[in-house]
């Protein structure tokens, strides 16, 4: 009989979880460094190329169909990260991007309801409304640093991320590191083709020829930090602990994202931005934490026979 997953993180595993959140949150600033020197679609192409090679030579292909790998690779590669990198190039600040892209949680719920018939719970509606109000605040206060187009691009990236979630959820128990690496086979070609067609060979050539060391380091970090460390560690933690214990820690990603952007890039944090962040994070908290609280309450107060 398999023992239940522990619900309390050890000190070591809590530190590892925090490290993953720091890496994923601060990565939005690192993306900004990369797109300052590379065309954004080509930079996204580099991200997946470095994630693919040489890891694909050492990781066994996950036991999923090529169709699922292709769908995930296109949605996450050309969709989520292609749009995200274009947005951060000059249409939205990295800190706000790290916040708005978390709307993928609600897009995932909606897509699951439409495509698989999952029922949307009342608390999920409440969380969605709060997040939408927060995004509305951001749209109301858009300026030269954050534009309506930037919000649309990030929301579109979040929708593609949600689509990727639906695809990956159809293969439960799969090694996500291997999944992401092998799916990169289908991320690199469309990203390179789109970069060639939309950004042009001269921009690609000049980017490669003139990019400083920190730009190449940013590209490599996309693979080493976010994929090799982030996904591998996240999958390992999920295999050891209850999902309800690990999942809420993802709320720290926009906290570190906005904090890193403020510290390293001088991104301002006016009251309206903090209020918007509070609304979006409140919506996410309700969506992620409510089931756990409901389960605890039900365990403490079982229905009478």
pLDDT at 303: 63
Query: pLDDT (tens digit, 9 = 90+) per residue, 186-206?
Result: 999 999 999 999 999 999 999
pLDDT at 70: 97
* Residue 167 to residue 162: CA distance in whole angstroms: 9
State pTM to two decimals: 0.90
DSSP 8-class letter at 199:
I
* Residue 141 to residue 136: CA distance in whole angstroms: 9
Helix (H) or strand (E) holding 2: none
Q: List the domain boundaries for the chain.
A: 20-296
- Give 127: exposed, middle or buried? Use CB within 10 Å, 0-12, 13-18, 19+: buried
pLDDT at 144: 75
pLDDT at 3: 47
* Residue 187 to residue 82: CA distance in whole angstroms: 10
> Nearest Cα to 229, choosing from 178, 182, 185, 177?
177
Q: What share of the chain is helix, strand, coil (3-state, %, to 5)?
A: 80, 0, 20
> Could you tell me the maximum CA-CA distance found in the chain, to the nearest angstrom?
74
pLDDT at 81: 96
Query: pLDDT (tens digit, 9 = 90+) per residue, 74-126?
Result: 999 999 999 999 999 999 999 999 999 999 988 988 998 888 787 888 888 89
* Residue 84 to residue 304: CA distance in whole angstroms: 51
Q: Which residues of the chain have pLDDT under 50?
A: 1-3
> Nearest Cα to 248, choosing from 301, 297, 287, 212?
287
């Amino acid at each position: 009989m398999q023992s239940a997953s522990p619900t309390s993180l050890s000190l070591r595993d809590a530190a590892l979880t925090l490290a993953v959140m720091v890496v994923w949150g601060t990565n939005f600033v690192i993306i900004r460094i990369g797109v300052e020197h590379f065309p954004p679609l080509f930079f996204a192409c580099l991200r997946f190329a470095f994630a693919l090679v040489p890891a694909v030579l050492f990781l066994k292909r996950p036991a999923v169909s090529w169709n699922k790998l292709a769908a995930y690779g296109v949605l996450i590669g050309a969709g989520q990260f292609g749009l995200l990198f274009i947005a951060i190039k000059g249409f939205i600040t990295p800190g706000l991007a790290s916040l708005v892209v978390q709307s993928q949680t609600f897009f995932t719920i909606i897509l699951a309801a439409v495509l698989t018939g999952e029922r949307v719970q009342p608390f999920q509606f409440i969380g969605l409304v709060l997040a939408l109000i927060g995004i509305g605040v951001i749209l109301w206060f858009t300026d030269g640093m954050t534009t309506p187009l930037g919000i649309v691009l990030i929301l579109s990236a979040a929708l593609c991320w949600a689509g990727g979630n639906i695809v990956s959820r159809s293969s439960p128990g799969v090694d996500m590191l291997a999944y992401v690496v092998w799916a990169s086979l289908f991320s690199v070609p469309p990203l390179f083709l789109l970069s060639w067609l939309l950004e042009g060979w001269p921009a690609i050539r000049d980017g490669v020829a003139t990019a400083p060391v920190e730009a190449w380091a940013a590209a490599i970090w996309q693979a080493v930090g976010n994929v090799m460390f982030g996904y591998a560690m996240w999958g390992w933690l999920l295999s050891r602990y209850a999902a309800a214990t690990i999942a809420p820690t993802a709320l720290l990603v926009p906290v570190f994202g906005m904090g890193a952007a403020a510290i390293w890039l001088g991104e301002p944090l006016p009251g309206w931005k903090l209020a918007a962040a509070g609304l979006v994070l409140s919506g996410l908290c309700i969506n992620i934490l409510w089931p756990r609280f409901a389960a605890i309450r039900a365990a403490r107060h079982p229905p009478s026979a």
